[in-house]
Amino acid sequence: MQALANSIFAIAPVVCFGVRRDAEPNNSFAEANPLPLNTSQAGTLFLNPASDTQDWYELTLPAIGNVTFTASYQAGLSGFIYIHNSAGGQLGFASSATGTLTINCTAAGTIYVRATRNGGSGTYTLSVTLNQPQFSADIEPNGDNNVLLSSESILQTFQENQAWTGQLGHTNAGVSDVQDWFYIVSPEDGNVTRQSSQAVRLPGLFISIKRMEP
Ligand SMILES: [Ca+2]
Ligand SMILES: [Ca+2]
Ligand SMILES: [Ca+2]
């Protein structure tokens, strides 16, 4: 019984704390380790092996949103966290001194995180959260005026003085959802004024109004 008790105690630190460790080799896009959302991932750099200068992780975003990366490097280790889209293009980076980075308006799908070593050696931890945009989504696919008008499932009719929300321009390896069409009924002849606000500034945003004669 004493021997059994000793055995259980010996493995307890790994099982109970459930810390995810990076699995080498993970030194390229193709060798990336899976990285779940909302999970603390630990890794080592320049330790095991001593030539280890980067760790790649692959992450699947189940929905669009704003993605926040948080990294913490052990004292004595410095480096950077790089974020890449599904094609390997760089979306942003944060240093170990900064420790956090948010990429707004990210499309659903695969993205990659790369932890690199700049100096020293040791352990780091990182985690990723996905937060939904401030404004709720419009009904897709509404990127074509004719499709909108021909589909009861996406056609919403808005009235004078009514506000609505939508989402546009989420990116990964390319920009998706580049246009939204909405159908508005005017109760009478007059001048139309529209107002809009953006949760995140969208460069090149245009809002056009097209008149449809009865
Ligand atoms: Ca490593
Ligand atoms: Ca590595
Ligand atoms: Ca949209």
| Residue 214 pLDDT grade (very low, low, confident, very high; cuts 50, 70, 90) | low
pLDDT in tens, 133-177: 889 999 999 999 888 889 989 998 898 899 999 999 898 998 888
pLDDT digits (tens, 9 = 90+) for 115-142: 999 999 999 999 999 999 889 999 999 9
CATH number of 2-131: 2.60.120.380
Tokens 């760089």 found at: 90
Q: Which ligand is nearest to the CA of 25?
A: 2
For ligand 1, the distance from its centroid to the CA atom of residue 113, given in whole angstroms, is: 13
Domain boundaries in the chain?
2-131, 134-214
The C-alpha angle 89, 90, 91, rounded to 5 degrees, equals: 115
Nearest ligand, CA 114: 2
Alpha-carbon gap, residue 85 to 64, rounded angstroms: 13
Distance in Å, CA 156 to ligand 1 centroid:
51
**DSSP structure class, residue 132:** -
| CB 109 within 8 Å of CB 57 | no
CA–centroid distance, 189 to ligand 3, in Å, is 29
In this prediction, residues 203-210 reach a mean pLDDT of 83
CA 20 – ligand 2 centroid, Å:
14
